[in-house]
Every structure is written in C-alpha cells, then in structure tokens.
Amino acid sequence: MNNLKGHIVTPKGILDGEIFFDQKIRKIEARKVRTKNIIVPGFVDLHLHGGGGCDLMEGGNAARTISKIHAQYGTTSYLATVPTASEVDLEQALIGLKRSTEQRKSNEAYVLGVHLEGPYINVEKVGAQSKLTREFNLSEIKKLNDIFQLKIITLAPELLSDLALIKVLEKMGIAVQLGHTNANYDQAHQALQAGAKSFTHLYNAMSSLHHRSPGAVGAALAHAQFAELILDFVHVHPGACLSALRAIPKLYFVTDATAASGMEDGDYKLGTQTVSKCQGGVRLADGTLAGSCLTMHQVFKNAIALGLTIEEVSRRCSFFPAQLIRVKDRGRLALQSYADIVVMDEAFNITDVYLEGKKL
C-alpha cells in the first residue's frame, strides 16, 4: 500500500496528515507533518478536445496521446469533447475513442465519457466550430450513446421543439449544458427550469448580458447552480470571472484544450478547422478564439492568482465537475474513491501524479 504525507485537501477541508492507498483510498489519518506537500484530488476536466498535437476527432490513437499529455499536468479523468461535425465523423471519432480506452495504460488519464458540444447549436454562435449544425435528433444521440457513453450535451435551447426533451436526456444519464446559443433570458431560464444543468464556457458563444436584455449570461448569473468557465484570462476577464464566482455556487473550471496544449506555437487541428497557437491563445485565421492551450495545472494556478483558497480551487477543478456528471468515486480524496492524486509543492508546482494509485 502507498502512502503520502502532507496537507491533504479533503471534501471537509485541509487535513494535515497521511493518506494510504492502493487503487483506491483506504485511510486518511490526521497527524503533524513536516513536509510542505499539498495533496489534492486529480483534476476532472469536462471540456477537453485535444493535446500533444492530437485532436479527438482524428480517431485512431489520438485519445491515448491526449490522455497521456494531460495526465502529466494533473488531469486524471476527463470528458472527451467533440464539436459539431457530420454524423459519420462523430461516429468514427467515438469508435476510435472506444478502442483507445480499451487499450488504456496506467499513465493515461481516464475517459469518463463524452461531451457532445453540438451539433444542436445556433449557427449564429458557432464560434470556431463548423457550420454543420442541425435540428435536435434523438435517434442520432442514441446511436452515438450506444458507441460511447455521452455525459454532457451542449445545445441551444431556443432551437428545441420541446423542452421536455431535456428530461429525456437526463433519464439517459446525459446532463444538458446551454451553450453556443442566442437564447434570450426567458428562454435560457425556462430551459433551466426544464432540467438543463449548466452552461458551456460561460460568457463565450452565448447571448451576452445587458441590463435591459440579460441574455443567456444573465440567466446563468441569476439562476444557475453549475457553469463551466475557461480560466485562461483570455476567454474571460478576471473581473467577469469574479462576478461568476460570486453568482454561481458550483462554477467549475475547464480547459477547452485543443491539440495545441503542451505544444509549441504553430498550426493545429480542431475538428475540421485549422487553428493557430500564438501568445498563449488559440485562434482561427480571422482571430476568433478557438479553444485554448491550457492545462488544468495552469487553471489551478490561475485560480490561486485570482485569490481563491486552495480548498475552493480544488472543489472547482475536481469536486464540482465530478458532481455535475454524477461521478462519486473521483474528484475527491475520500475513502473508497479512486486514488487519483496530485502532489504539489508550496509554489503549486506539480511534483507527482497518481492515476488510480499508480505513480506516473
């Protein structure tokens, strides 16, 4: 059995002591420690397209490279995120993902399921996605879900023929996030009342907040329990981040990482689009933001720089995202949870990562 000593971030707060684990956490004991190690649960990223030069839409072994790269930066589990594409291309991407996960090795982050970011989105708010948007299609969703479990679907609620479809998805174990939407405040609020759970990259690719026309952003700030935020200070100004933190109880952080994550500046793929990494951002040729080059480790450090406590950052990088998709054995350092662990020094540099108890 493995053990680590340090300042352990548990669901009940920071505990100075020792954690014992094999594949799962077996015991946590309080005691005086001399080390300055900070021990946090592995990061759970619910919006991740790529990394290490690979994009999930490529299929093949792309997912394995992506899982390996992000694990080095503390992401121990994630949702493989696929953008708007043809039905055939989505199916092929998920088939490749399934094969990759069946061959998973101990140095690869665990894929919790799929985040389907489209194609049921508003063409006026596609952002960096393709324009192959289409009407909500439950048969298509069921077919994709049969290949690989869908955990989140991003959609534009104003395009749904019946908001009761949100409950249908919920019964399938799929959380609905509102995003890439031109919904007005009332439409977004009604979708939340109908069972939508969250918002995709809050502020970005959605109707904005104006004091006489609050839009989807206003509905999120007024009513949402959950929303994801890309914390690179490129997608969202720090002041707007603080506003969201004050308003949304379980705001959680994501990377929206692309193939450019972990790579040098240059051109990469995001679905069918070519994107360029330069000066810490990822954009289309016309300057449109196109995901990020973030890692969850950088997100963690950005959140600390924003003034959040270690415990709060950990909740928003691990606990809340796991909670949204009803995962109870990851994203927390608690008995019988998987031993997905990140160890950092007092400057928040990662010193060790454990995936299901095995050290990278």
User: Can you tell me the distance from the alpha carbon of 75 to that of 64, in angstroms, rounded to the nearest whole number?
Assistant: 13
Terminus-to-terminus CA distance in the chain, angstroms?
16
Tell me if 155 sits within 8 A of 166, measured CB to CB: no
pLDDT for 33 equals 92
d(CA 102, CA 324): 25
Tell me the HSE value of 271 on the side-chain side, using a 13 A CA sphere. Answer: 26
Which residues does residue 57 pair with via DSSP β-bridges, in sequence order? none
Asked whether 329 and 338 are in contact (CB, 8 A), the reply is yes
pLDDT tens string, the chain, 360 residues long: the values are 999 999 999 999 999 999 999 999 999 999 999 999 999 999 999 999 999 999 999 988 899 999 999 999 999 999 999 999 999 999 999 999 999 999 999 999 999 999 999 999 999 999 888 899 999 999 999 999 999 999 999 999 999 999 999 999 999 999 999 999 999 999 999 999 999 999 999 999 999 999 999 999 999 999 999 999 999 999 999 999 999 999 999 999 999 999 888 888 888 878 777 878 876 788 888 888 878 889 999 999 999 999 999 999 999 999 999 999 999 999 999 999 999 999 999 999 999 999 999 999
Residues marked active site are found at 256
Using an 8 Å Cβ cutoff, are 17 and 5 in contact? yes
Q: How many CA atoms lie within 13 A of 124 on its CB side?
A: 8
Q: Enumerate the domain spans of the chain.
A: 1-41+331-360, 43-329
Range 43-329: architecture per CATH: Alpha-Beta Barrel (3.20)
Record: fold of 1-41+331-360? Urease, subunit C; domain 1 (2.30.40)
Q: pTM (2 decimals)?
A: 0.96
DSSP-assigned letter for residue 269: E
